[in-house]
Structure 1
Amino acid sequence: MIFNTLYFLIVIILQILNNIECFNFGYVGEAAHYAKCLITECCGDKYIIGDLRRLRSTLDKQLFGQNLAKEVVLNAIRAHWENDFSQKALTLSFHGPPGTGKNYVSRMIVDSLYKEGSKSQYVHHFQGRIQFPKEDQADIYKENIYLWIKGNITKCEKQLFIFDEVDKMPSAVLNGIKPIIDYHDTVEKVDYRKSIFIFLSNTGSSLINDHYISLWKSGKKRRDIKLKDFEKLIAAGAFNEKGGFHHSDTIKSNLIDHYIPFLPLEYDHVRSCIYTEFSLRGVSHFQERDILEVLEGVEWGPSPENLFSKTGCKRLSQKVAMITQKNYAPPLNDEL
């Protein structure tokens, strides 16, 4: 009863503060905005923290085998975030096989830029096969996504939009955001230039794998690979392969700022992922036999080199959890 009453009072107070703020009663409006921000998330530095040091530290400690992606992501976001005169919204397109870190890096970005992380009202996550399942409704999706983004940016300019499974989306949907990510000061009196768009896709995975193998065979070390080795390849693959970028206006008009390859993971990278999974569960003195047991479930390819994990680090978490439970958890108490 007390909790319900308290909740009701908070809702009423927030509504009053919102009304005062909306009518912009000078100092009273500013005070109302300040008071509201003490209670709930609002558009400002208190909640949109932009902690780039945290982002760099997290990438360094928890991302394996993706030095190229790490460098491009950090520099691109820092250049955009610290620039008050950006010409357009920042657009990053992550490409690569499953389990190589695309979603993982997205979460790191979210947690570093927004105090509330993925729960922030300024972070929006779209799943291709869930939000945009039907090809024949692409025009409806296109209009809805434009209006949705416009409505949110009107409330706060520094927002993050993540489109996952772009390869599962109808090809025309992303054309709806072309005006938003183009080089405009405003579109229908809305300024989108401080926002960030991240696109996640398996598109181009085979091209990335094959090209990396050819670079490896030529003697080029992973650490020496540059963005220019992959960017045109990925853009061409995304444009021509079935999915959200297929013949997309966003690619035709050169509106994707960076095509970022997530390279297939090798043996040492997978081992590092396993170490991290054990550490996250508080197991610091695990045995080599534990590592080997997890590795037994990893498939390697392509033949004949068998250099890469076919699923990256994607399936390791549950395997480590099971081994941790089996070998390191206290025994169950059978007594009732």
Structure 2
Amino acid sequence: MRLHIWKIVFVIVCNVIHFAISVELLSIGAAAVVGVGSFIYQNTLCRLKECCTKNEIPADFDKLEQLLDEKVYGQHLAKETIVNALRGHWSDNYESPKALTLSFHGWPGGGKNYIAGFIKDSLYALGSKSDHVHHFMGRIHFPEVARTQEYQDNLYQWIKGNVTRCQKQLFIFDEVNKMPPKVLNVIKPMIDYNQDVEKVDYRKAIFIFLSNTGESLITEKAIQLWKSGVRREDVGLKDFESVITMGAFNEEGGFHHSDTIKSNLIDHYIPFLPMEHEHVRLCIIDQFKLRSVLEPKEEHIQEVMDFVEWGPLPDNLYSKTGCKRLSQKVAMTVQKYRIREKAIEKSSEKTNS
């Protein structure tokens, strides 16, 4: 108990030191004092709680780019747009006029949450465990339409409190299509072109929205481009942005007639294209590798592929579930054939004996 009290006292002392330095109360030898104070701050307070420095927020965009190149398939639009948007937003040579807002759209299994995880791990040293990362789930955190005002009040205070503590916050809203329509209206001033809102500067914050809205329209557009002879690698954001905006604004969910869309405050609508056979195959191979099967046999890959449903008719170009459900199918296949191999080995041992 005494140790706990001393720890609290120690944190308070460190905070006082850092505050004294930040307001520059000392004029003589200020540089030296700041240097010593920063050293104390980094090596004491920041060991006890997560601070707001480059150590905690390394923003390793090269790492993010590498992860997306190596682990994400069939989503060239997402990879290119996300890396460049994030890198530009937190550039040392540029002061963004507003918070960065990205909206991910597409079928389940296309990689929206998958990529969001890589963003967390690349921007923050503690990844998803960082106090600066906030991941909201539509059906869990905002389940009832009747409580919309309560959700708005709580959300506003939560975002305000965290950005006040550290400007470089990441807010992810998952399952936006499962949220009450007006909840997100409360964040409009925070993502608008404002230097501050109630004396809080939100311009360094990042807001990412994940939604299935517009999924059918994205697929229809992708098929239309395919039939026109346009290669998947050659399609651009401009081919999908108006389609996604229309779907997000008119479909039921958190963006339904939303002020964020009406006011053009979403910086990038990012389509997650439906996954083709070659992309699903690569996902399957990755799952085998995670289970130490570095060179899976073709018949084992095909056995997992047989579980995948394809559509829409008549072309059946795309997986209905993207790369979802593959992990457990691969795990079952690996276990199945390892057991069979062991049985064969035992049988041959008996024969030889």
**Using the alignment, how far apart are the partners of 1:30 and 1:21 within structure 2?**
10
CA offset digits 1:289-308 (Å, max 9, x no partner): 11011111100000101000
Single out whichever of 94-103 and 80-89 deviates more from structure 2: 80-89
Are the equivalent residues in 2 in contact too, given 1:17–1:33 (CA < 8 A)? no
Q: Please name the residue that 1:266 is paired with.
A: 276
| Alignment of 1:47 onto 2:56 | yes
Read off the aligned partner of 1:218 and give its amino acid letter: S
Q: Please name the residue that 1:111 is paired with.
A: 121
Aligned residues: 325
Unaligned runs of 5+ in 1: none
What are the within-5 Å matches in structure 2 for residues 85-164 of structure 1?
Answer: 85-164=95-174
Q: Please name the residue that 2:226 is paired with.
A: 216
Structure 1 residue 110 displacement after superposition: 0.5
Q: Please name the residue that 2:25 is paired with.
A: none
Unaligned runs of 5+ in 2: 22-32, 344-353
What are the within-5 Å matches in structure 2 for residues 315-326 of structure 1?
Answer: 315-326=325-336
**Using the alignment, how far apart are the partners of 1:276 and 1:210 within structure 2?**
29
Are the equivalent residues in 2 in contact too, given 1:239–1:251 (CA < 8 A)? yes
Inter-CA distance 55–12: structure 2 relative to 1 (3 Å threshold)? farther
**Using the alignment, how far apart are the partners of 2:252 and 2:6 within structure 1?**
50
Q: Please name the residue that 2:350 is paired with.
A: none
Secondary structure, aligned partner of 1:185: coil
Inter-CA distance 50–162: structure 2 relative to 1 (3 Å threshold)? same
**Using the alignment, how far apart are the partners of 2:5 and 2:319 within structure 1?**
54
Secondary structure, aligned partner of 1:65: coil
| Alignment of 1:252 onto 2:262 | yes
**Using the alignment, how far apart are the partners of 1:328 and 1:45 within structure 2?**
46
CA offset digits 1:251-279 (Å, max 9, x no partner): 01110000000000000000000111111
Q: Please name the residue that 2:295 is paired with.
A: 285
Secondary structure, aligned partner of 2:278: helix
Read off the aligned partner of 2:288 and give its amino acid letter: F
Structure 1 residue 29 displacement after superposition: 5.7
* TM-score normalised by the chain length of structure 1: 0.92
Secondary structure, aligned partner of 2:171: strand
Read off the aligned partner of 1:318 and give its amino acid letter: Q
Read off the aligned partner of 2:310 and give its amino acid letter: W
Read off the aligned partner of 1:193 and give its amino acid letter: R
Spell out structure 1 runs of 4+ moving beyond 3 A: 11-14, 25-32, 328-332
Single out whichever of 181-190 and 31-40 deviates more from structure 2: 31-40
Secondary structure, aligned partner of 1:136: helix
| Pairing partner for 1:15 from 2, 8, 16 | 8
Identity %, equivalent residues? 58
**Using the alignment, how far apart are the partners of 1:69 and 1:13 within structure 2?**
49
Structure 1 residue 18 displacement after superposition: 2.9
Structure 1 residue 30 displacement after superposition: 4.1
Secondary structure, aligned partner of 1:254: coil
Structure 1 residue 31 displacement after superposition: 5.0
| Pairing partner for 1:177 from 187, 206, 221 | 187
Single out whichever of 161-170 and 41-50 deviates more from structure 2: 41-50
Single out whichever of 27-36 and 130-139 deviates more from structure 2: 27-36
Are the equivalent residues in 2 in contact too, given 1:153–1:190 (CA < 8 A)? yes
| Alignment of 1:200 onto 2:193 | no
CA offset digits 1:65-102 (Å, max 9, x no partner): 00111111111011102144110110000000000000
CA offset digits 1:166-201 (Å, max 9, x no partner): 000000000010011110111111111111000000
| Pairing partner for 1:76 from 74, 85, 110 | 85
Tell which structure's C-alpha radius of gyration is larger.
2
Read off the aligned partner of 1:16 and give its amino acid letter: V
Are the equivalent residues in 1 in contact too, given 2:172–2:207 (CA < 8 A)? yes
CA offset digits 1:281-326 (Å, max 9, x no partner): 2210211111011111100000101000000001101111122222
CA offset digits 1:1-52 (Å, max 9, x no partner): xxxx8xx84x545523431243324458645522122344221111111011
What are the within-5 Å matches in structure 2 for residues 16-31 of structure 1?
Answer: 16-23=9-16, 24-26=19-21, 27=33, 30=38
Secondary structure, aligned partner of 1:94: strand
Read off the aligned partner of 1:88 and give its amino acid letter: K
Q: Please name the residue that 1:59 is paired with.
A: 68
**Using the alignment, how far apart are the partners of 2:111 and 2:6 within structure 1?**
42
